């Protein structure tokens, strides 16, 4: 009976941690549109789970709490690719932002690594095709083009963070290729590049972490991180130490030191 009770408790805690990690962030575009407008400068932070902030350090929420003179909106959605962000741009445009940051492409990079991963993303995120680098470039170009056409916002493009911390890994070669596209688009549209990748490179140097994996361990590491953080209150930084990570909790999502670097970079962007 005791064992059964412990199993039930564990299952409940597991689903609780998954629920917490999937909740919408504070102040989404819809929340802002439905709220009473104010005279503050409006900042919309667009992206995936790294911006969403329920898995890993919530840099957008921290930025909001420290900067009351800005209305900071979280337009990050777990698992999104560039195509998903493009599909929901109307709500972002309707916020009439003064500043926009874009951090998108980590899921595109991971989804393009193998056909199996691509099929998984296509199913879960209802994509019209398998992810690949050319499709990413077209979608990202369309995102920037629409935002420039329909807003007067100053746009900051954030380079992709590392995936895992091994310089010569297959996934990092993909990340570097995607980041080159981001750099090229930043130049094409004369936008501001926010150099997250370079900032994390300084933090990660000499890392001896376990490698990023594309098998079931990828999801297990995320689930483990959520469970330890939401059930036991262990910091994202300490969760990642099991794998020898310096900047992440699960080889994908940022821990506190890395997230604060991103927060500072975005703050520098919006205050200039």
- Kind plus residue range of the DSSP H or E element containing 234: none
pLDDT tens digits along 46-85: 999 999 999 999 999 999 999 989 999 999 999 999 999 9
Report whether pLDDT(188) > 80.
yes
Query: What tokens does 87 get?
Result: 């599909």
User: What is residue 10's predicted lDDT score, i.e. its pLDDT?
Assistant: 79
State the pTM of this model.
0.95
Q: Can you list the positions of beta strands (E) in the chain?
A: 41-47, 70-76, 99-103, 154-158, 192-194
Q: How many CB atoms lie within 10 A of CB 172?
A: 17
- The whole-number pLDDT of residue 1 equals 73
Residue 259 in this model has a pLDDT that exceeds 90 = yes
Half-sphere exposure of 89 (CA within 13 A, CB side): 22
For the chain, the straight-line distance linking the first and the last C-alpha, in angstroms and rounded, comes to 62
Residues in Cβ contact with 42 at an 8 Å cutoff, skipping those fewer than 6 apart = 32, 70, 71, 73, 95, 96, 97, 98, 99
Does residue 37 have a pLDDT over 70? no
pLDDT in the model for residue 126:
97
Q: Residue 4: its pLDDT value, please?
A: 77
DSSP-derived letter for residue 211 is: P
CA distance 104 to 84: 10
Please state, in angstroms and as integers, the Cα–Cα distance from residue 31 to each residue in 27, 43, 214, following that order.
5, 14, 35
DSSP-assigned letter for residue 69: T
In the block, tokens 């095709």 appear at 129
């Amino acid at each position: 009976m005791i064992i059964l009770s412990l199993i039930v408790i564990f299952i409940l805690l597991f689903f609780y941690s998954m629920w917490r990690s999937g909740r919408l962030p504070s102040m989404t575009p819809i929340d802002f549109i439905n709220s009473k407008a104010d005279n503050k400068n409006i900042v919309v932070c667009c992206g995936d789970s790294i911006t969403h902030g329920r898995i890993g350090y919530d840099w957008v929420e921290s930025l909001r709490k420290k900067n009351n003179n800005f209305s900071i909106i979280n337009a990050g959605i777990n698992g999104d690719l560039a195509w998903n962000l493009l599909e929901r741009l109307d709500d972002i445009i309707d916020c009439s932002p003064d500043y926009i940051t874009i951090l998108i492409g980590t899921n595109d990079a991971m989804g393009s690594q193998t056909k199996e991963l691509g099929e998984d993303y296509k199913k879960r995120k209802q994509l019209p095709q398998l992810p690949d680098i050319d499709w990413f470039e077209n979608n990202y170009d369309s995102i920037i083009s629409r935002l420039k056409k329909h807003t007067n916002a100053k746009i900051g493009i954030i380079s992709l963070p590392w995936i895992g911390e091994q310089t010569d890994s297959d996934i990092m070669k993909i990340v570097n290729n995607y980041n080159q596209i981001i750099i090229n688009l930043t130049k094409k549209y004369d936008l501001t590049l926010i150099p997250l990748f370079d900032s994390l490179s300084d933090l990660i140097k000499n890392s001896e972490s376990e490698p990023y994996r594309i098998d079931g361990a990828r999801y297990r590491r995320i689930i483990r991180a959520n469970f330890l953080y939401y059930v036991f209150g262990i910091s994202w930084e300490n969760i990642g130490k099991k794998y020898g990570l310096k900047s992440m909790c699960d080889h994908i999502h940022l821990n506190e030191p890395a997230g604060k670097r991103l927060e500072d970079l975005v703050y520098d962007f919006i205050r200039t």
